[in-house]
Chains A and B, each alone.
Chain A
Amino acid sequence: MRLDVNGDPRDLDDGTSLATMIEQLAGSTRGSAVVVDGEVVPRSEWASYPLRPGQSVELITAVQGG
Chain B
Amino acid sequence: MDDPFVIAGVELSSRLILGTGGAPSIQIVDEALAASQTAMCTVAMRRVDPGISGSILDVLDRRGVRVLPNTAGCRTAAEAVRTAHLAREALETDWLKLEVIADERTLLPDPIELLDAAQTLVAQGFHVLPYTNDDPILARRLQQAGCVAVMPLGSPIGTGLGIGNPHNIELIVGEAEVPVILDAGIGTASDAAFAMELGCDGVLLASAVTRAQNPAQMAAAMAAAVIAGRLARLAGRIPRRHHAHASSPTEGMAVF
> Taking beta carbons and an 8 Å cutoff, which residues of A are in contact with B?
6-7, 25-27, 30-35, 40, 42-43, 58-66
Chain B: minimal CB distance from A42 (Å): 7
- What are 21 A-B interface contacts by the 8 Å CB criterion? A26-B48, A27-B53, A31-B55, A31-B90, A31-B91, A32-B90, A33-B86, A59-B48, A60-B46, A62-B45, A62-B55, A62-B69, A62-B87, A62-B90, A64-B20, A64-B22, A64-B29, A65-B46, A65-B70, A66-B20, A66-B70
Task: Kindly supply a per-residue 1/0 record for chain B positions 54-92, scoring 1 wherever the CB is within 8 Å of any chain A CB and 0 otherwise.
Answer: 011100000000010110100000000010011101111
- CA A65 – CA B90 in complex, angstroms? 15
Indicate which residue in B47, B56, B86, B184 contacts A64 across the interface (CB closer than 8 Å): B56
> Taking beta carbons and an 8 Å cutoff, which residues of B are in contact with A?
19-23, 26, 29, 42-48, 50, 53, 55-57, 67, 69-70, 72, 82, 85-87, 89-92, 157-158, 184, 206-207
Q: Which residues of B contact A6 (CB under 8 A)?
A: 47-48
- CA A26 – CA B52 in complex, angstroms? 9
User: A43 near B91 (CB under 8 angstroms)?
Assistant: no
Chain A: minimal CB distance from B210 (Å): 8
User: B56 near A62 (CB under 8 angstroms)?
Assistant: yes
Q: Which residues of B contact A33 (CB under 8 A)?
A: 45, 86-87, 89-90
- CA A14 – CA B168 in complex, angstroms? 59
User: A61 near B46 (CB under 8 angstroms)?
Assistant: yes
- CA A43 – CA B47 in complex, angstroms? 17
User: B90 near A66 (CB under 8 angstroms)?
Assistant: no
Indicate which residue in A30, A35, A59, A63 contacts B43 across the interface (CB closer than 8 Å): A63
Q: Which residues of A contact B82 (CB under 8 A)?
A: 40
Chain B: minimal CB distance from A9 (Å): 15
User: B50 near A25 (CB under 8 angstroms)?
Assistant: yes
Chain A: minimal CB distance from B42 (Å): 6
Q: Which residues of B contact A30 (CB under 8 A)?
A: 55, 57
Using CB atoms, name the residue of chain A closest to B45. Answer: A60
- CA A33 – CA B44 in complex, angstroms? 12
Indicate which residue in B56, B184, B206 contacts A63 across the interface (CB closer than 8 Å): B56
